[in-house]
Structure formats: structure tokens, C-alpha cells
Chains A and B, each alone.
Chain A
Amino acid sequence: GENVEQHPSTLSVQEGDSAVIKCTYSDSASNYFPWYKQELGKRPQLIIDIRSNVGEKKDQRIAVTLNKTAKHFSLHITETQPEDSAVYFCAASNSGGSNYKLTFGKGTLLTVNP
């Protein structure tokens, strides 16, 4: 089955700095890569996703890059703000066949210091 590795497990940055979280996956058939943000005590919320036919996607201060050859994808947050502090999960899935399973990374605790 799919295995998703996520690094780092914790990341502390100063407000205004950039933050980068990296994930690797094992199944070359995976073709969908969402990122979820989970604030303490709240539900995971999709912040951005990318499909395997695209190399990069941006949404304001957030961007995701995908390297299919190397089987890794990254989340980039620019001009970080204290409200970006949360746990971020990457995930990968393969929609082939009749089953759909999203495999999550172990998460990155991002702390943005004012």
C-alpha cells in the first residue's frame, strides 16, 4: 500500500518568514495530493491540493509543488502569520479502481512566533 513520509515533524518560524513542509510517497500510481490544516481542537480543513498532471499550484500565500519523478511534494507558506500556527498533514491517493483511500503523513506542527 501507499506510504507517505512527512518532514519536519515540528517547525518554528518567525512571523513573516517562509515555511516549507516536505512529503514523499511510495506508490507511483498516486495521482492526488491534498494538504490539510488542523488547528488545535478543530477539524482538518483542506487548504490546497494538486493533481499529478500539474507541477505547481498557488493560492495567495500558499503553494504546492509536485515532482512525480522523485515522488515528492511540498507545501510552501510565505509571509507566515501567527494564525498559520497549526498541524499540517499531507496526503496522497490513487483513484484507480473502485476504492478511494487517502493516506496521510504524520503531520507537521507549525508554530509562527510573533
Chain B
Amino acid sequence: DTEVTQTPKHLVMGMTNKKSLKCEQHMGHRAMYWYKQKAKKPPELMFVYSYEKLSINESVPSRFSPECPNSSLLNLHLHALQPEDSALYLCASSPKESNNSPLHFGNGTRLTVT
């Protein structure tokens, strides 16, 4: 019943693979986010898009490449990942980047890198 939809739910990939995570929202939100969450830890911010432009990159390695094709979609392209990149990847959206807008999280993609 989440309003932010992420696909796939689970992904297993090798270190040489290229894959993409997808996120979609139809609430008219203009800010979208990628978070990484390891077990028993809080979500860690990776990227923020505001009005389809990248506004924050939290020094994320280049093997993670975000893309925002339009205001409803957010992708995360993965290439040459390491086993330590295995985590739950959460997409979120909010009405605006600032103005203290609550985040709406998707259910996440559980990524395993072998």
C-alpha cells in the first residue's frame, strides 16, 4: 500500500554485473532521494534530486549512478559493485526538497552482491 514503488524487491548480482534499481511516485512530489540501509543501522543518504536536478551527492562512489528521467521516476544504476555494497536501498520522495517536508519511503530493494 506504499505510494512510492520500488522494483525489484530483491536483487542478487555479481561484481561484474550492471543492474538498475527503479523508483516511481505519482504524488506530484518534486524531491526524490536514494538511501542505503545496512542491517540494524539508520538510513544513510546517498543522493537527492530536486525538480529533476541532482542537488546532493553524499560522496557516493561512482559505481552508483543516479538518474532522474522525469519528476515521477528515479533510477539507480549499479556497476562493478563490491560485496560490502549489499544492503537495503530505499527510495523516498517529499513534496519539496526543503520546507521540512516529510519523507515517504518505498519498500526498498534488498541487494546482495556476490
Please give the residue numbers on chain A whose beta carbons come within 8 Å of chain B beta carbons, in ascending order. Answer: 31-32, 34, 42-46, 49, 51, 87, 89, 93, 95-102, 104-107
Contacts and interface: CB of A to CB of B under 8 A. Distances in A.
Given A43-B2, A43-B90, A95-B98, A102 B41 contact: no
Question: Which applies to chain A's interface (DSSP): helix, strand, loop or mixed?
Answer: loop
A102 B106 contact: no
Contact of B45 (A49, A102, A106): A102
A106 B40 CA distance: 8
B105 A95 contact: no
Nearest to B6: A43
Given A43-B106, A46-B103, A106 B42 contact: yes
Contacts of A99: 48, 55-56, 97-98
B56 A93 contact: no
A43 B45 contact: no
A53 B103 CA distance: 20
Interface residues of B, number: 25
A69 B11 CA distance: 46
Interface of B: 2, 31, 40-43, 45, 48, 50, 55-56, 90, 94, 97-108
A99 B31 CA distance: 11
Contacts of A43: 2, 90, 105-108
A39 to B, nearest CB: 11
B48 A44 contact: no
A32 B100 CA distance: 6
B43 A104 contact: yes
Contacts of A44: 43, 90, 103, 105
A106 B39 CA distance: 11
Contacts of B100: 31-32, 49, 51, 93, 95
